[in-house]
Copies of this chain bind each other. A is one copy, B any other.
Amino acid sequence: MTTFSETTAVSPLGEGRYRAELGDAFGFETKPGGPVVLNGGYLMAVLMRAAVAESEHEHPVSTAVSFLRPGLPGPAEVVVERRREGRTASMLRASLVQGGEPLLDALVTTGTLDPDAKPAYVGEQPPMPAPEDCPPPGRARPKKGFPAQVDMRFDPAVMGWLDGDFTGRPEMRAHVRLQDGDDPDPYVLALAIDALIPVVTNAGFPGWSPTVELTWHLRALPAPGWLAVHGTGRMVNDGWSDENVEIWDAAGNLVAQSRQLARAARTRK
């Protein structure tokens, strides 16, 4: 099994350029045996590794990404520009490029988080049953690519849609961990934050929902163990939807927040 840290590695080429070899481990077949399209969070993690390597700070505290084109397995390059260096935060621009075309454009802010910081204020974690009360998907799933690499235990309360029983609200939630045993780190969070079945599914819009823009913030360094990934949405309008995700770690800390803007089907099921 390819580990996530191996398949997101980048190597410096100098002058802010980094080489990546995109694997197919975190991809989805577009049809059985067909071409593989790579998960957006995986692509984001590759890009973030290059941005952090180029920075004097250790952690990607904020990452905003435009998703321009789908990524395919094969060689790619990350081009990073340092835009401002600061003692507490540095800003970079980064692009993941394949075949001469940008796949992702990003703004990355790096900083150095204190692993022992205690929140001065934190809201409440929304409710979710424990991992042992969230069964693995009961339906046969392909055991290739992303579904084979990412162990997801969905809250049964949001999975009735498989039998046509939508909750009626944009929501989705699951416990997530990597099958390869890699513990959560900021790059695993980048994968987890875009790993859910789209929240609009439960508002009655299953299927196609490509991410256009996703911004996420690393709020604390995650503890080992399951990640509780809570997704909600506020509106589906004019073919656009929002998806808001919080990740809470196994120690009960809020570690990541995101919002993405995605396209959505115009007609409800």
Contact = CB atoms under 8 A, between A and B. Distances in A.
Interface of A: 61-62, 64-66, 68-69, 83-84, 88-89, 91, 93, 102, 105-107, 109, 111, 113-114, 117-123, 169-170, 200, 203-205, 212-213, 215, 217, 219-220, 233-240, 242, 246, 254, 257, 259, 261, 263-264, 266, 268
A67 to B, nearest CB: 8
A268 B111 CA distance: 22
B123 A234 contact: yes
A248 B203 CA distance: 21
B109 A83 contact: no
Contacts of A83: 66, 68, 102, 105
B217 A268 contact: no
Contact of A119 (B68, B91, B220, B235): B235
B238 A107 contact: no
B215 A234 contact: no
Nearest to A65: B107
Given A91-B68, A107-B213, A261 B61 contact: yes
- State the main secondary structure of chain A at its contact with B: strand
A123 B168 CA distance: 11
Contacts of A233: 121, 123
A219 B242 contact: yes
Nearest to A205: B120
A84 B64 contact: no
A82 to B, nearest CB: 11
Contact of A62 (B117, B212, B219, B220): B212
A220 B62 CA distance: 26
Contact of A93 (B105, B200, B219, B242): B105
Nearest to A115: B238
A122 B107 CA distance: 29
Given A102-B83, A205-B120, A219-B240, A234 B213 contact: no
Contacts of A107: 64-66, 105-107, 213
Contacts of A235: 119, 121-123, 219, 254
B66 A122 contact: no
B237 A217 contact: no
Given A102-B83, A240-B61, A121 B170 contact: yes
Given A88-B263, A120-B236, A235-B254, 12 more contacts: A61-B240, A64-B64, A64-B215, A65-B107, A93-B93, A93-B105, A118-B237, A119-B237, A121-B170, A123-B169, A234-B257, A242-B257
